[in-house]
Each structure stands twice: as C-alpha cells, then as structure tokens.
Amino acid sequence: MRKSDLMRAELIGSYAEVLSAPCYEGIKGIVLDETKNTFVIGSAGTEKMIPKHGNEFAFTYEGSRFVIKGSEVLHRPEDRIKKVR
C-alpha cells in the first residue's frame, strides 16, 4: 500500500497518533469520526477532536505506518477520493 492509497481510504477505524502540535502531541487511538477539518480520536477512554490543519498524523493501516500532514487530507471524507492524488 502506498501513502496515496491511504489518503483515499476510509480512515475511520484506523489507528492514529498525533505527532506535531505540542498541545495534541502523544494523543493516539482509533479514529472514531472525521470531518473536513478534524479527526475525532478515541484516546484513554475519551474522545479528542484534533484539527487537521497544522498537525501531522501517523496512521497504522493494514500493518503499515504512514505519516500524513493534516493539510494533505483537508477535505470531506467523501470528497477525498476525488481530490487526493
């Protein structure tokens, strides 16, 4: 699987970790929901809403780890398949 394949895939249900922003760094868990501008990550029994813009995420998907900038997937999930190359 390539990074571009992941960016077009359904990210809800995948494992994610926030890498970049100091106030969000270290948050990791399962992606519970996604909007155009945010990911909702289930972490330590709570739901954390993390903005995509300005953050970097590491996703574990089908046994591979990919690092993606939030600005690269700054689309509604249903539109991402058409816009991400």
pLDDT at 41: 96
Give the whole-angstrom CA distance, residue 67 versus residue 78: 21
Please tell me the total count of domains within the chain.
1
pLDDT at 16: 93
Give the whole-angstrom CA distance, residue 49 versus residue 24: 10
| Residue span of the structural domain in which 68 resides | 3-83
H or E element in which residue 77 lies: helix 77-83
Give the whole-angstrom CA distance, residue 66 versus residue 44: 22
Q: Domain of 76: which CATH number?
A: 2.30.30.210
pLDDT at 32: 96
Strand partners, 16: 29, 59
pLDDT at 47: 95
pLDDT in tens, the chain (85 residues): 677 777 778 889 999 999 987 788 789 999 999 999 999 999 888 999 999 998 999 998 778 898 999 888 888 887 777 766 6
Give the whole-angstrom CA distance, residue 58 versus residue 16: 6
